[in-house]
């Protein structure tokens, strides 16, 4: 069973004069990642999460009708 060639190209991809470089992930140590993301974690803890907020969420003030 022979498959028929498609009538048109499925992709209209650009043709570059210079070959493009492929993306290669660099090797990063776990310690370097921790050091680089420390300011983001500190900001998150300060603005969105904290031990006090977790304690309030776990033990909200009881509702009382006076």
Residue 28 pLDDT level (bands cut at 50, 70, 90): confident
Residue 54 lies in a domain: yes
Answer whether 0.75 is exceeded by the pTM: no
Question: Within a domain: residue 47?
Answer: yes
For residues 58 and 52, what is the distance between their CA atoms, to the nearest angstrom? 10
CA distance 56 to 50: 10
By the 10 Å C-beta count (0-12 exposed, 13-18 middle, 19+ buried), 64 is classed as exposed
For tokens 């998150």, name the residue.
44
Q: Is residue 13 part of a domain?
A: no
DSSP state of 9: -
pLDDT tens digits for 44-57? 887 777 777 777 77
Domain contains 45: yes
């Amino acid at each position: 069973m022979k498959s028929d060639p498609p009538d048109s190209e499925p992709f209209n991809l650009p043709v570059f004069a210079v070959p493009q470089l492929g993306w290669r992930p660099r090797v990063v140590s776990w310690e370097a990642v921790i050091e680089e993301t420390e300011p983001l974690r500190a900001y998150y803890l300060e603005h969105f999460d904290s031990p006090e907020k977790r304690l309030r969420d776990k033990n909200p003030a009881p509702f009382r009708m006076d």
